[in-house]
Amino acid sequence: MSKTLTVSISGMTCGHCVASVTEEIEAIAGVDSVDIDLNAGGTSTATITSVGDLDEAEVSEAVAEAGYTLISNNA
Q: Which domains does the chain have, with CATH numbers?
A: 3-72 (3.30.70.100)
Residue 55 contacts by C-beta under 8 Å, 6 or more apart in sequence? none
pLDDT of residue 73: 60
| 75 pLDDT above the threshold of 50 | no
Q: Contact 54/48 with Cβ under 8 angstroms?
A: yes
pLDDT tens for each residue of 7-66: 999 999 999 999 999 999 999 999 999 999 999 989 999 999 999 999 989 999 999 999
Q: Contact 9/72 with Cβ under 8 angstroms?
A: no
Question: What does the alpha-carbon distance between residue 27 and residue 25 come to, in Å, rounded to a whole number?
Answer: 5
Task: Provide the CB-side half-sphere exposure for 4 (13 A, CA).
Answer: 7
pLDDT of residue 1: 80
Calculate mean pLDDT across residues 61-74. 87
